[in-house]
Structure 1
Amino acid sequence: MLLLLSPRALQTLRGYVVARRAVLYRGVVCAYDVELSAMLSVPLVGPLPPLAASVGTKSVSKRIFAAADVSVFPSIFDLFDPSMQIWRSSQM
């Protein structure tokens, strides 16, 4: 947000992206990222906030890969208390 309030910083960024192919990559897109992207005239790449929140944990990602039958490195996920960690470790 502070970047949007600084004309000097925006001018510096514009100098970097002028005549270059530039893209903003974000893990979670917020309104400020959208506004910055529009001010700099560069595309914004990243998931929408509701989508990022729904797949933002390792456990959810592992479940998605398992449902798609994608092989993943053996690991423990969906732990809700410490006793589950011991039980799940013994199942590996």
Structure 2
Amino acid sequence: MSSTSVRDALDALQDVDFPAAKEELVQAAENAGAPEEVVKALRAIPPGEYGNRDEVAGSVRVDLASDLDLSAAQARRGGRRGQSQHLRDVPKPSVQDELDQS
């Protein structure tokens, strides 16, 4: 798991004009001299165009134990189709209700 935080990823994108494609975000981070962990995290986001920094924040996979500016719930709400699995809110299966009653 990467030690990148949302803040690290967004700091690397200070000079980006939005909207921006994933490839532009990765290139901007590389040009800014971002750490390899940040570049890898941006390479892992779903392809497409991002309208603002919040959309990027919702799609970057980070270590949830890091110093996030967003809680996991906030990241899920701001997420996009295809975002990292660990940020998705998954409904409890119906069989779990039966097991919980036991």
TM-score higher than 0.5 here? Answer: no
Which structure is higher in helix share? 1
Instruction: Name the larger-Rg structure.
Output: 1
Q: TM-score, normalised by structure 1?
A: 0.25
Q: TM-score, normalised by structure 2?
A: 0.23
Higher relative contact order (CA 8 A, sep 6+): 2
